[in-house]
């Protein structure tokens, strides 16, 4: 006789609070209530699908009816516990409100409320999707909730609590179950696979956990599907094929082409993805996810990546992309994802999103950088302005003219976040092999060991000898190149506003039509 297969979502359904994954805030409250003997007569569990609403309700029913007494840790061995687990406990009345919406159905259910339990300590009514009940059904339920018999407990579950009458809500203890974090879902899926002795790849499990969208039940169902699809294993390639996601390498290559700023090459590669028939919305999601990891690496020194993107890859990309670019690309990616249905077709919307990333880069990132080819429009970049004299070989006073440091930066073979770090520094001086810098205190988060090493190597190549960096307290005077650029931009903006407001035509409009100037909309000419 062939053994019947049990789906993972059913086989691994928690049977006690100890087995529950996540929802610690709900578990602790219920455990405290059970241990203190202060158990309310009506509970309402809300939350999206698959986060544990009915599972927690069944565990609570077991806690109330365990033959060992009311407890937060039911034995799981007595007849009541086993029957509740099997779904055949006579005093646990489970109702699917979606199919029992009529008032007659509700009255039929509640007619036996006044009778004592047949087997257990409490008669437990578990009403799922309770928001589907009709108004008359709610009224019938409300009468029982107002004056419940001491031997009855109501456990209500819903994905849409807004549809419940306030009169019902006010008579229940409400617990909002949260979406389960991706990391917790992935950890549980790995534990299940290890127990089931099924081979897997961590990246494949990470993809399934991400696709579960906060639902543990959906995660286990997708895992079941992946095992069948992969012929008894859960690999990354199989997960991507099943979920319809593009290969991880494609997302990385998109980021690398964004780093070069070469619009023509970026567009060529984007069009080459057409052969994989990708879901462009999902592709933008994955690109935004990669950019999130890069931003974390740029500000959190010990960020270690995850199963999808190892730390070596994240560190490399974080070093070649400016922090400002990463933030801009992320914003454009998620907005492009939102607007994709409005595009003439998905591919065109995807391509325009990528081109927008190149076209609207911050001015501070538009300066020439070693290793970058192409311009925002795919053409040649402006030539670098001539560098000023190199820093003196002796220590400089804290108030020295910082134009030397800005000129030196223009000559260095330095790019990405390392250049950003240097642009937020003030040169204090150079004493032999020691270069002393002061970092703008507002930019401390940019200072990492990896970026310091890149800056030191670039300076060593420039000077032709090994130098080491020494960071000191910021001087009272001195302007970093980044601050100098911001000051110049403010001065240009002020000059543009003054010129605009003094224009005779503008004055005429203001005098004749009582027009008002919006200063924030005035931009200097490029």
For residue 518, what pLDDT is reported?
Answer: 72
What does the pLDDT average to over 210-239? 89
d(CA 359, CA 517): 28
Least confident piece of the model among 96-100, 267-271, 418-422, 446-450: 96-100
d(CA 405, CA 459): 11
- Contact between residue 304 and residue 451 where contact means Cβ atoms under 8 Å apart: no
Q: Which residues pair with 310 in a beta bridge?
A: 305
Half-sphere exposure of 20 toward its Cβ, with a 13 Å CA cutoff?
26
- Contact between residue 152 and residue 123 where contact means Cβ atoms under 8 Å apart: yes
pLDDT(199) > 50: yes
Whether this prediction's pTM lies above 0.85 is answered by: no
3-class SS at 222?
A: helix
- Say which DSSP state 230 is in: T
Q: Give residue-wise pLDDT tens across range 130-154.
A: 888 888 888 888 888 888 888 999 9
For residue 56, what pLDDT is reported?
Answer: 93
d(CA 92, CA 127): 10
For residue 103, what pLDDT is reported?
Answer: 63
In SS3 terms, 301-332 reads as CCCCECCCCEHHHHHHHHHHCCHHHHHHHHHH
In DSSP notation, 353-384 reads HHHHHHHT--GGGSS--TT--S-TTSSPPPPP
Structure-model confidence comparison of residues 73 and 450, the more confident one: 73
- Contact between residue 103 and residue 135 where contact means Cβ atoms under 8 Å apart: no
pLDDT band at 3 (very low <50, low <70, confident <90, very high): low
- Closest to 22 measured CA to CA, from 289, 209, 226: 209
Phi and psi at residue 174, in whole multiples of 5°? -100, 130
- Closest to 141 measured CA to CA, from 85, 176, 93: 93
Residue ranges of alpha helices (H) inside 79-199 are 79-86, 103-110, 135-146, 166-169, 182-196
Contacts of 299 (CB under 8 A, 6+ apart): 323, 445, 446
- Contact between residue 171 and residue 156 where contact means Cβ atoms under 8 Å apart: no
Q: Return the structure tokens found at 526.
A: 């490029």
- Say which DSSP state 200 is in: B
For residue 426, what pLDDT is reported?
Answer: 87
Q: Is 211 exposed, middle or buried (0-12, 13-18, 19+ CB in 10 A)?
A: buried
d(CA 226, CA 94): 31
Q: To the nearest 10°, report the CA torsion of 471, 475, 481, 485.
A: 150
pLDDT(393) > 80: no
Q: What is the mean pLDDT of the chain?
A: 81
3-class SS at 510?
A: helix
d(CA 123, CA 93): 8
For residue 245, what pLDDT is reported?
Answer: 67
d(CA 286, CA 274): 16
């Amino acid at each position: 006789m062939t053994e019947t297969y049990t789906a993972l979502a059913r086989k691994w359904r928690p049977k006690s609070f100890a087995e529950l994954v996540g929802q610690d805030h709900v578990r602790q409250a219920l455990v405290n209530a059970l241990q203190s003997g202060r158990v309310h007569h009506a509970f309402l569990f809300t939350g999206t699908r698959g986060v544990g609403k009915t599972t927690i309700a069944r565990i609570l029913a077991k806690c109330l009816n365990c033959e060992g007494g009311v407890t937060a840790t039911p034995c799981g061995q007595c007849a009541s516990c086993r029957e509740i687990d099997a779904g055949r406990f006579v005093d646990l009345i489970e109702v699917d409100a979606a199919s029992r919406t009529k008032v007659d159905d509700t009255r039929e259910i509640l007619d036996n409320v006044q009778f004592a339990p047949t087997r257990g300590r409490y008669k437990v009514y578990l009403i799922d999707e309770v928001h589907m009940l009709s108004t008359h059904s709610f009224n019938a339920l409300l009468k029982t909730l107002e004056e419940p018999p001491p031997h009855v407990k109501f456990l209500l579950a819903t994905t849409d609590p807004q549809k419940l009458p306030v009169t019902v809500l006010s008579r229940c203890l409400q617990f909002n179950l949260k979406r389960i974090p991706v990391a917790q879902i992935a950890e549980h899926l790995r534990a299940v696979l290890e127990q089931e002795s099924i081979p897997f790849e961590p990246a494949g499990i990470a993809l399934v956990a991400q696709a579960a969208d906060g639902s543990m039940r959906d995660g286990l169902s997708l895992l079941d599907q992946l095992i069948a699809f992969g012929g008894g294993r859960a690999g990354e390639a199989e997960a991507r094929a099943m979920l319809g996601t593009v290969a991880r390498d494609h997302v990385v290559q998109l980021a690398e082409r964004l780093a070069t700023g070469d619009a023509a090459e970026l567009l060529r590669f984007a069009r080459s993805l057409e052969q994989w028939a990708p879901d462009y919305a999902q592709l933008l999601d994955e690109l935004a996810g990669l950019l999130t990891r890069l931003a974390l690496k740029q500000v959190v020194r010990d960020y270690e990546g995850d199963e999808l993107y190892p730390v070596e890859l994240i560190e490399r990309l974080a070093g070649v992309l400016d922090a400002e670019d990463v933030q801009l690309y992320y914003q454009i990616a998620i907005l492009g994802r939102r607007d994709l249905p409005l595009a003439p077709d998905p591919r065109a919307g995807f391509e325009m999103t990528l081109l927008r990333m190149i076209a609207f880069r911050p001015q501070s990132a538009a300066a020439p950088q070693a290793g970058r080819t192409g311009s925002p429009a795919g053409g040649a970049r402006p030539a670098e302005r001539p560098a000023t004299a190199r820093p003196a070989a002796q220590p400089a006073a804290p108030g020295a003219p910082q134009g030397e440091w800005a000129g030196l930066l223009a000559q260095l073979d330095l790019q990405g976040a390392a250049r950003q770090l240097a642009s937020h520094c003030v040169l204090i001086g150079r004493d032999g092999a020691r270069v002393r810098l002061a970092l703008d205190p507002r930019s401390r988060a940019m200072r990492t060991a990896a970026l310091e090493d890149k800056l030191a190597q670039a300076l060593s190549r420039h000077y032709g000898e090994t130098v080491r960096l020494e960071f000191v307290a910021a001087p009272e005077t001195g302007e970093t190149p980044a601050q100098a650029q911001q000051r110049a931009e403010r001065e240009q903006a002020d000059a543009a506003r003054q010129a605009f407001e003094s224009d005779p035509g503008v004055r005429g409009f203001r005098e004749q039509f009582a027009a008002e100037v919006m200063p924030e909309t005035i931009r200097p000419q490029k």
